[in-house]
Structure 1
Amino acid sequence: MRVIVTIQHPGHVHFFKHAIRTLESQGHDLHVFARENEVTVELLERAGIDHEVLAGESSSLVSLAAVQATYEARLLRRARRIDPDVIAAIGGVAAAHVASVVGATSVVFYDTEHATLIKKLAYPFADVVCTPECYQGDVGSKQITYPGYHELAYLHPDRFEPNPSVLDDAGLEPDDTIVVMRLSSWDSSHDVGQGGFDDPVDVVGRLEDAGATVLLTSEVDLPPELETYRYTLAPDRMHDLLAYADCFVGEGATMAAEAAVLGTPAVYVNSLSLGYVSELADEYGLVFSYNGDDRHAKSLERAVSIVETDDPSTWRRRRDRLLADRVDVTDVIVREVETAGSDTDPDRSALTPNPG
């Protein structure tokens, strides 16, 4: 098959990278197109994935519309030349539109219920929409659900083993109490009007008082007093660090889920809730989600409690139960892409969880 994969966010690189390699190893012709966004292109280069950049970064919602239009127009030109069988993406606005024009099958993966603009622009044109089972919404007959989360496409133990050298590289000791903290930019279309922490400086100070070493990753400029806490290692080392951290505290749902599936308790501080975050909280107790007006105080109280209690065996047991219930999502990606490009019916029973 000829397959196009579109990448518009750093998380998309992680999600698709193992599937791209698997599909290529099986003889399929892969074409990866990207948009510059944070460290997206750097991650593609570090992963050794051949790609072409079709558009640059945006600085606002207004400029994002222009950048997206440029990306979609250039993707259409490339697709007409390639004549793909399948176009795959997360969110999939450009992928679904272009596929409908060139006669390809579009396979869209998504897990963000409140991204109403993306859903309105992508879902009507998409051929297949793949969502986690915990996704809160009915897409109709084109929806395929699976027992997993996006993060298990790259952090399932069959795909990822953390490298302990990250501690030395970050200047940390094995017995340090480590908290990874994440601040979001709130400039996505689905984040307008939302919020997280009231005062990041207060969060760092309270966590340090509890005995934690805080490493901070941020999509926004930091107050001068927090610059020394900024995480400075290569972006593809973050998952190693999350695996060895004692707690994650942050405004980003993706990093909260990444920490959770690695067995690191996550304190999620965001006025928005998501289906997969709720399941990781309610079913597995690996995320503590705070969405109300008191989210700053409540989340900080929980994070300090986790740091002071220091009970890693509890998180390991909860992670083990999660992994027994959920599948390697890279296998889902490969299956759905290959199914979309063939006339055969898929064997979805082969990808059910195996508690044994």
Structure 2
Amino acid sequence: MRIVITIQHPGHVHFFRHPIEELRERGHEIHVFARENDVAVELLEAYGIDHRVLAGSSDSLVSLAAVQATYEARLLRHARRIDPDVITAIGGVAAAHVASVLGTKSLVFYDTEHATLITRLGYPFADVICTPSCYREEIGPNQVTYPGYHELAYLHPDRFEPDPTVLESLEADVDLEPDDPFAVVRLSNWGASHDVGHGGFEEPRAIVERLEAAGADVLLSAEGEPPADLEPYRLETSPDRLHDLLSFADVVLSEGATTAAEAAVLGTPSVYVNPLSLGYTTELDAEYGLLFEHDGENRHVRGLERAASIVERTDDPWRRRRERLLDERIDVTAFVVRQVESLARTRTSDGTTPATNAG
């Protein structure tokens, strides 16, 4: 079968990396299209995934609209030539639009409830929408739920084994030995809060001081250039090695939900500090105790203290908690492959779309 996969974010590369490999091994013809966004294209190249870049990056909502229009127009042109059996993506605005024009099938994966613009533009046109079972929205008859998280498509132990040599490849000035406790801190940016109640940590230096006092070395990651006094703590590593690093950290403090969830499914306790709660961050907190969600008032103070308290703990419940998670959640790559093949087959059968929940 002919399958088109679209990539518009680095996380999409991670999610589809193993399904692409398996689908090709099963004899299917895979076409990957991407637009430049952060390190998405760099990751495709690092993993040796054949692809074609259809559009550049954007730096504002206005430019994003123009880039998206260009991306969709070029995707339509290429897809018309390929005549795919299914087009699949995360979010899936372009995939669903192009598939509806061509009369082919579209398969959308998504896990972000508050991204309402994407869901309003994409969901009405999609044939099947796959969401984690913890997703808070009821979409309708085309929704398929599964007991898992996007991160388990690439960080399930059947798909990923952390490489301890990542500690030797760090370009930060922090000199880590294998047994040294350390924290990875992922900030939205290096600056102060943008909006009252919605900004990030105002004093990154305070994060370093508190976590060092708790006994951990600190590696900082954020957008842009750090203040001069924080340069020694700046984390610089190849983007395809970040998950190795998260796996060996003692705690991850993150303003980004994906990084926090990645650490959690790897068995590294994570602290998620953000006003936007998600179904999967709440479940990883309430059900498994591998992620600690702080989204209310004084969340930065409480989140930092939580991270410090994790470093100072003398017990280690994280391995046991991860084992329980893996017992109850699925290998999402296997689910993705099944859904792609099942939907692609319907194009050559009676035209109906099966939507069967997993698990």
Name the TM-score class by shorter chain: over 0.9
In the alignment, the residues of structure 2 paired with residue 317 and residue 73 of structure 1 have an alpha-carbon distance, to the nearest angstrom, of: 49
Matches within 5 A, 1:262-273: 262-273=266-277
The amino acid across from 1:145 in the alignment is: T
CA contact (8 A) 1:95 1:106 kept: yes
| RMSD across aligned positions (CA) | 1.9
State the match for 2:242 in structure 1: 238
State the match for 1:148 in structure 2: 148
Q: Are the structure 2 counterparts of residues 62 and 193 from structure 1 closer, same or farther at C-alpha, using a change threshold of 3 Å?
A: farther
Is 1:205 the counterpart of 2:226? The answer is no
Counterpart secondary structure, 2:237: coil
In the alignment, the residues of structure 2 paired with residue 172 and residue 310 of structure 1 have an alpha-carbon distance, to the nearest angstrom, of: 20
Match of 1:336 among 339, 348, 356: 339
Counterpart secondary structure, 1:66: helix
Q: Are the structure 2 counterparts of residues 166 and 311 from structure 1 closer, same or farther at C-alpha, using a change threshold of 3 Å?
A: farther
CA contact (8 A) 1:246 1:310 kept: no
In the alignment, the residues of structure 1 paired with residue 156 and residue 34 of structure 2 have an alpha-carbon distance, to the nearest angstrom, of: 24
State the match for 2:280 in structure 1: 276
Counterpart secondary structure, 2:125: coil
Matches within 5 A, 1:180-199: 180-184=184-188, 194-199=198-203
State the match for 1:285 in structure 2: 289
CA contact (8 A) 1:184 1:220 kept: no
In the alignment, the residues of structure 2 paired with residue 174 and residue 40 of structure 1 have an alpha-carbon distance, to the nearest angstrom, of: 30
Deviations 1:176-207 (A, max 9, x none): 11101111259xxxx99833323222112211
The amino acid across from 2:280 in the alignment is: Y
Q: Are the structure 2 counterparts of residues 117 and 348 from structure 1 closer, same or farther at C-alpha, using a change threshold of 3 Å?
A: closer
Is 1:123 the counterpart of 2:127? The answer is no
State the match for 2:32 in structure 1: 32
CA contact (8 A) 2:128 2:355 kept: no
Matches within 5 A, 1:84-123: 84-123=84-123
In the alignment, the residues of structure 1 paired with residue 244 and residue 49 of structure 2 have an alpha-carbon distance, to the nearest angstrom, of: 20
The amino acid across from 1:28 in the alignment is: H
In the alignment, the residues of structure 2 paired with residue 50 and residue 41 of structure 1 have an alpha-carbon distance, to the nearest angstrom, of: 10
State the match for 2:77 in structure 1: 77
Bigger Cα displacement from structure 2, 207-216 vs 19-28: 207-216
Is 1:300 the counterpart of 2:281? The answer is no
Bigger Cα displacement from structure 2, 251-260 vs 164-173: 164-173
- Using the aligned pairs only, state the percent identity: 66
TM-score (norm 1): 0.93
Deviations 1:296-344 (A, max 9, x none): 11001101100111433x0000000000000000011101110111138
CA contact (8 A) 2:154 2:333 kept: yes
In the alignment, the residues of structure 1 paired with residue 275 and residue 121 of structure 2 have an alpha-carbon distance, to the nearest angstrom, of: 24
In the alignment, the residues of structure 1 paired with residue 197 and residue 294 of structure 2 have an alpha-carbon distance, to the nearest angstrom, of: 16
State the match for 2:56 in structure 1: 56
Is 1:175 the counterpart of 2:185? The answer is no
**Which residues of structure 1 form unaligned runs of 5+?**
none
Following superposition, the deviation at residue 213 of structure 1 comes to: 1.0
In the alignment, the residues of structure 1 paired with residue 326 and residue 288 of structure 2 have an alpha-carbon distance, to the nearest angstrom, of: 10
TM-score (norm 2): 0.93
Is 1:325 the counterpart of 2:328? The answer is yes
Following superposition, the deviation at residue 228 of structure 1 comes to: 2.0
Deviations 1:246-272 (A, max 9, x none): 000010100100000000000001011
Counterpart secondary structure, 1:123: helix
State the match for 1:257 in structure 2: 261
Match of 2:226 among 202, 222, 228: 222
Following superposition, the deviation at residue 232 of structure 1 comes to: 1.4
CA contact (8 A) 1:166 1:241 kept: yes
State the match for 1:132 in structure 2: 132
Q: Are the structure 2 counterparts of residues 339 and 330 from structure 1 closer, same or farther at C-alpha, using a change threshold of 3 Å?
A: same
Match of 2:318 among 315, 337, 350: 315
Q: Are the structure 2 counterparts of residues 328 and 308 from structure 1 closer, same or farther at C-alpha, using a change threshold of 3 Å?
A: same
CA contact (8 A) 1:196 1:271 kept: no
CA contact (8 A) 2:142 2:355 kept: no
**Which residues of structure 2 form unaligned runs of 5+?**
none
Alignment size in residue pairs: 346
Q: Are the structure 2 counterparts of residues 162 and 348 from structure 1 closer, same or farther at C-alpha, using a change threshold of 3 Å?
A: farther
In the alignment, the residues of structure 2 paired with residue 305 and residue 221 of structure 1 have an alpha-carbon distance, to the nearest angstrom, of: 29
CA contact (8 A) 1:196 1:295 kept: no
Counterpart secondary structure, 1:161: coil
Following superposition, the deviation at residue 217 of structure 1 comes to: 1.8
CA contact (8 A) 2:131 2:143 kept: yes
The amino acid across from 1:200 in the alignment is: P
The amino acid across from 2:160 in the alignment is: F
Following superposition, the deviation at residue 167 of structure 1 comes to: 1.6
